[in-house]
Structure 1
Amino acid sequence: MPRFQAVLFDFFGTLTRPVQRGSGHQATADLLGCPPEDFVEVLDRSFYERACGRFGTAEATLRWVCEQAGVRPSEEALRAAVACRQRAIRADTRLRVDAVPTLRALRDRGMRTGVISDCTHELPLFLPELAVAPLLDVRIFSIQVGRCKPDPALYLAACARLGLPPRDCLYVGDGGSQELTGAQQAGLTAVRLAAPDLVDHLVFGVDSGWVGPALLTLGEVVGLVDSSPVTVPLAGQ
């Protein structure tokens, strides 16, 4: 495995513990006057469209979701639901206990770090509040790029912001959105976080055919980086 200068991470399920929708999502549906089961069904089948920003702002997106479910909330209800959904997703987000120590250990070794996430409007707003925020050199969000993994644009955007070629970057993810295959096709080295708790993770587009290396804990990334060989330039290069 080559020597790396940066490690890029997926967010949900990788830097965080497994995600499941909590009670705040039912509260959001209630504010919209939408049956919770219909609300969730539309959310599930439209994730990638919403994560690419296809329907516009957060309010416009929830309006579209409601239209699919056959309800038409007021503008006041939409605004309240946007705030409620923001709180709900934030409440569902719990960092892994080894997320901060892992990022600190990598940075102590001179590594650059970053996150690449398929997400809707909420994550870019609350990630700055999280303990991992000051430990991330780059943050790439699908909702801002307008594309989702495994599109190479997300990985290449992260590499460009770091000023590094893809071959110098390691990508770590749980395998959602075919992200590992996408990272590899973009020229990065990819490893899967196969933590046992991910059996309960809400995930779409699982990279089920992935046969590359895997780690059981996030902290193992540090050992992987430490064990990668240092490439010594030849004289004159």
Structure 2
Amino acid sequence: MNRFQNKTALVTGSSQGIGAACALRLAKEGANIILNGHQFDERGEKLIAEIEGMGRKVKFLEADVSKTKEVLKLVDDAVDVFGSLDILINNAGLEKKADFWKVTEEDYDIVMDTNLKGVFFGIQAFVKYCKSKKRPGTIINMSSVHEEIVFPHFAAYCASKGALKMLCRNLATELAPLNIRINNVAPGAVSTPINQDLLSNKKQLEKVLQNIPMKRMGKVEDVAAVVAFLASDEAAYVTGSTYFVDGGLTYHYEEQ
């Protein structure tokens, strides 16, 4: 299947985890890929080798998407690499655990700047490009089940994902006349580096699995499959939605 033949996708935060899986899935289906991370290292080298092995073009661009100037430059540079940009996947994100009364302004800022501000202005840069070239575009934001359900001790993270939910819905209306679609993908409990503490705590992991009807952690490939659908023409009439990839967690949830 080559749903993305002759198309280019930028995936932020794609050195590992869900971002890397999304890059590999789109490349497998024909896309040329712009990888991104804070720094190019052996993880990026490995991904480049895999993607080139599929016969696709690939480039790694360093950028910290929490900094507006860097995310704007990232989108501009991504356009320049292969001459066009069709798909923007805002995957980069982070979380900081703390009791609400102990959250520092520094931690709040880095979470909001990465998860929301960087996404906001990255989308803006992409929209300006699409508009100037009169091109259609597809945007997918990596949200979380916590745009919908509570996550005590992660107030800033929940606030950022809740805002992403509303941003997606608002932009779906505003960008539709430009033939630009936007959707969120909301992973639940997925086996990724960000969840390493949970995965290594058997007692806590068991509590989480009790809340998941499918009784297992998600795989990064589960998320990438939904991203690929939303990025494709098969989802041509889908915009402004959040797709939960959570094994049923969201509406079967009790805080432990």
TM-score range, shorter chain: 0.3 to 0.5
Larger relative CO (CA 8 A, sep 6+): 1 or 2? 1
> TM-score, normalized by length of structure 2?
0.41
In our comparison, the structure showing a higher alpha carbon Rg is 1
